[in-house]
Copies of this chain bind each other. A is one copy, B any other.
Amino acid sequence: MKKLLLVYIVLIGTLMAYLYMVFVKEDNSALLDEPEGLHGTLDEKYVMVNFLAGIDYWKNGLKGFEDAAEALGVSVEYRGSTQYDVQEEVMVLEQVIARSPAGIAVSAIDSEALNPAINKAVEAGIPVVMFDADAPRSKAYSYIGTNNYNAGVTAARKMAELTGGAGKVGVITLPNQLNHQERTRGFEETLEKEFPDLQLIGIADGKGDQMISEQKVRDLLGRFPDLSGIFVTEANGGVGAGNAILRLNKLDQVKIISFDTDKGTLDMVKSGTISATLAQGTWNMGYWSLMQLFHLRNRIVNPMSQDKGDSSIPPLPTNIDTGITVVTPDDVDQFYAK
């Protein structure tokens, strides 16, 4: 009988310990977790919206967006227009907003056309940040991407290094797009200030097209046979310029600086046809877009910005420059997609 009582006591003790664990300890562990670490829940869904969604250029940015989501324990989705079509991106963005996601990172095909949709989202309490291509007059909280003016400055300094700082140079660009205007302006103003012996003899519209850009370079070389260098502000034009100097047998005379790191560009850097290309920090654009959206969503922001709703005080940094890397034949290998 005494033995049986002992068994009872042990078992009842166990029951009490069990009940204690279920009801008390769960609370306790929740208390311990809360102040440690930034994390959300999987039902917090953040959406990345862009245009020409299928092209390789976006892969690294999406990877950064996903990596940040994994680190924070939240979900992501990727949507974009399939065509280079302003109205299609507006429609995609409207559809995303209708489902009230936790936040949206947008790359704008046009610096004005998306503003009504962006503003509607912000006014409805959905955080929006811009990445890669800004909409500066929208209500989006920030821009995360390349400082394009500074990229032009870097291109000018590299051009001076490649050409010995003297001679005639040209630019092939997209004169109607803000990003490309800034790249051109940074290049031009740096030549004027720092390299007065490098003369900018022409700025041509390559229309983002390989064949048209090749023809524009041929035209420039027709008018200025002693041309020393060309800065091309986007990748298709860079390959077009490369083809032009290959076919005209001007490889040793004309130094080309291009933009971005698609396979065609990297191949021409590797062979020496393009002397250098400017790589953008696309992984960081994606990673820090998600990080900012998470902070806006969970109101981990400048306390002063929360005092009133329509305050002009920025809740978080307004402009994040993800930097530029000059890619030359020496280090081109590490830029190929893996």
Pair A320/B322 contact, Cβ less than 8 Å: no
Which residues of B have CB within 8 Å of A67? 300
Q: In whole angstroms, what is the CA distance A320 to B22 when docked?
A: 46
The distance from the CB of A287 to the nearest CB of chain B, in whole angstroms, is 8
Q: In whole angstroms, what is the CA distance A18 to B283 when docked?
A: 46
The distance from the CB of A173 to the nearest CB of chain B, in whole angstroms, is 21
Pair B317/A321 contact, Cβ less than 8 Å: yes
Pair A283/B302 contact, Cβ less than 8 Å: yes
- Asked whether any CB of chain B lies closer than 8 Å to the CB of A33, the reply is yes
Closest residue of chain B to A300, judged by CB? B71
Q: Given that A72-B38, A283-B304, A300-B71 are contacting pairs, would A318 and B321 also be in contact in the complex, using a CB cutoff of 8 Å? A: yes
- Asked whether any CB of chain B lies closer than 8 Å to the CB of A125, the reply is no
Pair A317/B320 contact, Cβ less than 8 Å: yes
Partner pick for A35 among B63, B70, B334, CB 8 A cutoff: B70
Q: Given that A11-B15, A14-B15, A37-B39 are contacting pairs, would A317 and B70 also be in contact in the complex, using a CB cutoff of 8 Å? A: no
The distance from the CB of A290 to the nearest CB of chain B, in whole angstroms, is 12
Q: Given that A18-B17, A319-B147 are contacting pairs, would A38 and B283 also be in contact in the complex, using a CB cutoff of 8 Å? A: no
- Asked whether any CB of chain B lies closer than 8 Å to the CB of A91, the reply is no
- Asked whether any CB of chain B lies closer than 8 Å to the CB of A288, the reply is yes
Interface residues in A62-85 by Cβ distance below 8 A to B read 63-64, 67, 70-73
Q: Give the segment of A103-111, A229-237, A241-249, A306-314 that binds chain B.
A: A306-314
Closest residue of chain B to A143, judged by CB? B321
Which residues of B have CB within 8 Å of A302? 64, 281, 283-284, 287
Q: Given that A37-B73, A302-B281 are contacting pairs, would A326 and B308 also be in contact in the complex, using a CB cutoff of 8 Å? A: no
Q: A35-B70, A320-B321 are in contact. List 16 more A-B contacts (CB 8 A).
A: A11-B15, A14-B14, A29-B29, A37-B39, A38-B38, A38-B71, A38-B72, A67-B300, A144-B317, A281-B302, A281-B317, A284-B314, A287-B302, A311-B334, A319-B320, A319-B323
Q: What are 26 contact pairs spanning A and B, CB under 8 A?
A: A11-B14, A11-B15, A17-B18, A33-B33, A35-B73, A36-B72, A38-B71, A64-B302, A67-B300, A71-B300, A281-B317, A283-B302, A283-B304, A284-B314, A284-B316, A288-B316, A304-B334, A304-B335, A311-B334, A312-B331, A314-B325, A317-B321, A318-B321, A319-B321, A320-B320, A321-B321
Closest 9 interchain pairs by CB? A37-B39, A36-B73, A11-B11, A37-B37, A319-B321, A318-B323, A314-B323, A18-B18, A283-B302
